[in-house]
Every structure is written in structure tokens, then in C-alpha cells.
Amino acid sequence: MTNDVMSIILGGGAGTRLYPLTRRRSKPAVPLAGKYRLVDIPISNCLNAELNRIFVLTQFNSASLNKHIKNTYHFSNFDKGFVDILAAEQTPDNPTWYQGTADAVRQCMHHLENFDYKYILILSGDQLYQMDFKKMIQHHIDSNAEISIATIPVKAEEASDFGILKEDASGAITSFTEKPSQAVLPPWASEVSEEMKQEGRIYLASMGIYIFNKDVLQELLNNQPEAADFGKQLIPHAIESKRRIFSYQYEGYWTDIGNIHSFFEANIRLTDDIPPFNLYDNANTIYSRARMLPPAKISGTMHKTMIADGCIIMADRLERVVVGIRTRIGKGTVINDAYIMGSDYYQTLEEIEKAQQEGRPTMGIGENCVISNAIIDKNCAIGNGVHINGGKHLADGDFEKYTVKDGIVVVKKGSVLEDGFSI
């Protein structure tokens, strides 16, 4: 069954809602949980389901994503598996860049011509979830579906943020509406499990995860050359054309990393005693680049804190903090509700000594700092006595060294905050 599947991961657009994290990188390349990248999630879900023929479609700010995939996903010479990048390219037949999700797949279909497969699994590169794709593929086959769409039950107050699908008693999708208002919602309720009913989650939202029969996808893409997007154009057209489209209901944890708030919340929730997204599941390994880093060295009080490899932490207290690789934190510092992404390299002792002699902050976080409700992007140098107090009292704004969104302060990659800097 899995040998009949090709997987395509969509690298996303410009990612403006995740700015400034996407200022110099694509959305799937944004660091997650201190040591992963967002793209590791869909790739790991595929590999855990024994789906090892994977293409990642990229266009915007793709250099760091390309480097990560090249350095991470290697297969044996005796294995037919691969994770390959398909970058947007202009050709004599198509001089434009990707215009949307469906257009991206349309422009790349010729790269799949030499492969033997029956089904195409299409995934987003910026979602956080753990799904057994084997079960979804088997459901697709058992339903004799032409298209399967993964759906998740949501509450009425959430439904207006999603494309909402209506299914009949057999699970076949009969209609679709994009981001419906609360006034028109009631008729769109679908049959869900008793547990979902009790939680008020009775509306089926599209997760942006699709399985297509190969010939059906090719036909839809060819017959609808103006359809640029799956969710907004191609899928609604397929429903109107009475294609056999089935819902695959998923009731586990899933979040779309669409903006700074959802990204921040997804990372901070990893520090919960029992987080909704389980990084410690033997059956659902999250793969990433293997780094030869030393163990973390820690002194001070830590509460509900995740610390990645290679850190040197001498802070007074960390609470509800995710600390990324190679992070240095000085004495007397107190941090709560923050995601510190870490560094791509260590400064040498000579570089640290020179910076101290010149009165410049060294990479990492200095002494006697107070930081809350913040994201510190990679390779930042934060001096001593710096105060960053994020919260609703701060107005949204974009500044030279940081951005404020929804009360969350995002210090831009590589920024230097001098001693005593205050937000």
C-alpha cells in the first residue's frame, strides 16, 4: 500500500503572518521546540508511516530549508527512499512562479512522470500534528474514494477561521464553504463522535491534508488551469463535479502555525506536564538533523522548561521556557513564558573575551536580565540587565531589532541588544 504513494509537502508562501521569523527563512524552516524545524513534522509523519518518497516544494527564502533537508534526510544506497526539494522554476511552458498550492503541484507534476504510484498525499509544511497516514490511506482505499480530505471537528467559534465541509452518512463530502459567518453555520454541522459532540466540536474543518488518485489529480489540474489553490478553488470544483470525495476525521492534536500567536502558544505548551503534542512517543518519532553537541550544563531553578543540547545555563530561574540549541544564559537572569531559539554556532573564548573588552554583548543572554512573553530568534546577543516585558500592554509594531505582535515580543535573528536595553 505505502509503495503506491508519493508524498508532496507544500513549502508555503511568503509567510507574512509569521514575520519576522520568516524575514530570512521560509515557514517550514522556522525552528520548532528548540531543535527541530517545522518541516520535520510532515516529513516525520510520512517516515513513520513508511512513506519514504517525498518531495518538498519551495519558493520563498528557501536556502536554509534546502540546507536543512540536504543535511538531515539521508537514505541507504540500497533504499529507494528520498526527500528531495522541488524549487519553483521558470520554464518555456510556464514562465511564472507558483501562484498557489494547486498551481505549485501542477507545475511539478512532470517531475513525477518516471515514478510508479497510484496515490498522491499532499501536505502542508507548517502544521503541528501526529497522524498515522497508513490509516488515512487505507480509509481512502476502503471508501473507493477519488479524493480524501483530512478533517478535524471544531467548535462554532473556531469554524469561521476554516474551510468547513459537510458530509453525508457514508462520510462522503457533499458541500464546502470557506470561512462561514456564525449566522450561516447551524446547517453545516456533521456527524462526529460522542466525545466531540460533548465538546461542542460538530463542524468539520479541512486540515489541508489530501489524498488524490493519480489520474484524478492530473485531470483536475489539467481541466482547471486557472485554479491556483486547493482549498479555495480545486476542491470546491471537485465537489460540484460530484467526484467521490470522502472525509477522514482526525480527533488528535492539530494546529496550523499560521501566525506568531499560534506559533508561540504551540511551543510554550510543549512545557506542560502532559503536552498535547507528544515529542516522547516511540511510535511517532520526530526526525531532525543529528548534531554532535555536548550535553546541556545547567545551574539555577527550572520549572516546566525544555532545554536542547549544547546549552550553558546559569540563570536564577526559568519557567515555561523552551531553550534551543547552544544557548548561553548568564547569572541572575529570570525568564518566563519564552521561546529562545538558540544559536547556529558557538563563539570562541577569544571572541567572547574580545567582545567583553570592547563592551559588546556576547551571543546568548547576559546576566541579570528579565524576559517574559518573548521569542528570541537565533544568534541574538543580549547584554546584561536587559528587560523585555511582553504583554497586551504593548501595541503591535515593527522596529529595527524587534517586532511586537499580539503582545509577544519577537527579537529578530542576529540582533544585538546593548546592556540595559528595555522593552
DSSP structural state of residue 362: P
Sign of CA dihedral 176, 180, 183, 185: positive
User: What was the pLDDT predicted at 229?
Assistant: 84
Q: Are 10 and 57 in contact (CB under 8 A)?
A: yes
Question: 297-417 belongs to which homologous superfamily?
Answer: Hexapeptide repeat proteins (2.160.10.10)
User: What was the pLDDT predicted at 90?
Assistant: 60
Strand order of the β-sheet with 312-313 is: 297-298, 312-313, 328-329, 364-365, 381-382, 416-417
Please check the confidence at residue 153 and state whether its pLDDT lies above 90: yes
User: What was the pLDDT predicted at 78?
Assistant: 77
User: Is beta strand 397-398 parallel, antiparallel or unpaired with respect to 381-382?
Assistant: unpaired
Percent of the chain with pLDDT over 90: 67
pLDDT-derived band at 64 (thresholds 50, 70, 90) equals: confident
C-alpha 218/C-alpha 110 separation (Å) is 10
Sign of CA dihedral 92, 96, 98, 102: negative
Please check the confidence at residue 37 and state whether its pLDDT lies above 90: yes
List every span in the chain annotated with CATH 2.160.10.10: 297-417
C-alpha 320/C-alpha 335 separation (Å) is 8
Here the cell at position 31 is 525552528
Please check the confidence at residue 129 and state whether its pLDDT lies above 90: yes
User: Is beta strand 334-340 parallel, antiparallel or unpaired with respect to 397-398?
Assistant: unpaired
Please check the confidence at residue 253 and state whether its pLDDT lies above 90: yes
Please check the confidence at residue 51 and state whether its pLDDT lies above 90: yes
User: What was the pLDDT predicted at 38?
Assistant: 94
Nearest to 326 by CA among 354, 359, 353, 365: 365
For the chain, the distance separating the N- and C-terminal CA atoms, rounded to the nearest angstrom, is 55
Q: Worst-scoring range by mean pLDDT, 68-82, 89-103, 208-222, 403-417?
A: 89-103
Sign of CA dihedral 251, 253, 258, 260: positive
Here the cell at position 342 is 538558540
Q: Which fold has domain 2-271?
A: Spore Coat Polysaccharide Biosynthesis Protein SpsA; Chain A (3.90.550)
Please check the confidence at residue 97 and state whether its pLDDT lies above 70: no
Greater pLDDT, 287 or 61: 287
Greater pLDDT, 148 or 92: 148
| Mean per-residue pLDDT, 54-76 | 87
Here the cell at position 321 is 521556557
Greater pLDDT, 76 or 319: 319
Please check the confidence at residue 93 and state whether its pLDDT lies above 80: no
Here the cell at position 408 is 509577544
C-alpha 167/C-alpha 245 separation (Å) is 9
DSSP structural state of residue 296: P
Residue with cell 515580543: 409
pLDDT digits (tens, 9 = 90+) for 324-380: 999 999 999 999 999 999 999 999 999 999 998 998 999 999 999 999 999 999 999
C-alpha 329/C-alpha 280 separation (Å) is 26
3 state SS for 84-124: EEEECCCCCCCCCCCCCHHHHHHHHHHHHCCCCCCEEEEEE
User: What was the pLDDT predicted at 311?
Assistant: 97
Residue 353: φ, ψ to 5°:
-65, -40
* 15 Rama sector, left if φ>0, alpha if ψ -120 to 50, beta otherwise: left
C-alpha 184/C-alpha 70 separation (Å) is 47
Question: How far lies 14's CA from each of 58, 81, 161, in Å?
Answer: 10, 29, 20
Residue 62: φ, ψ to 5°:
-90, -5
Q: Are 417 and 386 in contact (CB under 8 A)?
A: yes
List every span in the chain annotated with CATH 3.90.550.10: 2-271
* 413 Rama sector, left if φ>0, alpha if ψ -120 to 50, beta otherwise: beta
Arithmetic mean of pLDDT over the chain: 91
User: What was the pLDDT predicted at 325?
Assistant: 97
Please check the confidence at residue 107 and state whether its pLDDT lies above 90: no
C-alpha 146/C-alpha 294 separation (Å) is 50
Neighbouring residues of 390: CB distance < 8 A, sequence distance ≥ 6: 337, 372, 373, 374, 404, 407, 408, 409, 423
pLDDT digits (tens, 9 = 90+) for 292-333: 999 999 999 999 999 999 999 999 999 999 999 999 999 999
Please check the confidence at residue 250 and state whether its pLDDT lies above 90: yes
Residue 158: φ, ψ to 5°:
-95, -20
pLDDT-derived band at 94 (thresholds 50, 70, 90) equals: low
User: What was the pLDDT predicted at 24?
Assistant: 87
C-alpha 325/C-alpha 304 separation (Å) is 17
- Evaluate the omega torsion of the peptide bond into residue 20 and state whether it is cis, within 30 degrees of 0: yes
Indicate the pTM of the whole model.
0.93
| Mean per-residue pLDDT, 52-72 | 88
Neighbouring residues of 300: CB distance < 8 A, sequence distance ≥ 6: 313, 314, 315, 316, 317, 318
Here the cell at position 91 is 520554464
